[in-house]
Amino acid sequence: MTTTIRLQQEDFDAAAEATALTRGRTNIGAVVTFTGICRGGERGESIAAMTLEHYPGMAEAEIARHVEEAKGRWPLLGVTVIHRYGRLVPGDNIVLVVTAAAHRGEAFAAAEFLMDYLKTSAPFWKQEERSDGKTWVDAKSTDDAAAARWSRGPRKPEAAE
């Protein structure tokens, strides 16, 4: 199991990260990559930029805790999580989750699980810049609900092969 967790200001290359995770390995049958991208607007209101603040030390630790939990739930062969911080403009990459497993079911499930928990429990805060000033983004109840479904019941249904 290869785990990479990075917080960085600079951009990342999703394809290169996925290749790095699988290179030289023949036990991996599925790789899922998720990239979160800065949108240019929300409900018709355009944003000029977004600044991501984070809690250094805790952000890495919190992501690592959830990667450990994902490894306990699914037979993963590799996980890469990269989260950017600082000022980003629309179209910029924000976050990358790559999961590798023998079969697609566990790779899809683990990627979704990690993203749901990143949204609600990793200490990052987004501030948007609009024409009328800067505003902190409110947490969404839909994100809490998305994370909560993973704690309901013992496990997700068995992964498809």
Partner 1 sequence: MKVLYFAWVRERVGKADEMLEPPAEIRTVAEFMRWLSGRGEEYAHAFENGQVIRVAIDKTHAKPDALIAGAREIAFFPPMTGG
The residue ranges that bind partner 1 (CB under 8 A) are: 36, 52-55, 57-59, 61-62, 83, 94-95, 115, 118-127, 136-139, 143
Q: How far is the CB of 111 from partner 1 (least distance, A)?
A: 12
Q: Which is nearer to partner 1, 17 or 62 (CB)?
A: 62
Q: Which is nearer to partner 1, 129 or 143 (CB)?
A: 143
- Least Å distance, CB 91 to partner 1, is 17
- Note whether 54 and 124 are within 8 A (CB): yes
Nearest to 98 by CA among 81, 85, 112, 114: 81
CB of 82 to partner 1, least distance (A): 12
The residue type of 16 is: A
Query: Which residue, 61 or 160, has its beta carbon nearer to partner 1?
Result: 61
At 4, give phi and psi (nearest 5°): -130, 125
Q: CB of residue 143 vs partner 1: minimum separation in angstroms?
A: 8
CA 50, 35, 118, 39: dihedral to nearest 10 degrees?
30
| Beta strand ranges found along the chain (DSSP E) | 2-8, 30-37, 41-42, 45-46, 49-54, 76-84, 86-88, 93-101, 124-130, 133-136
**CB of 28 or CB of 60, closer to partner 1:** 60
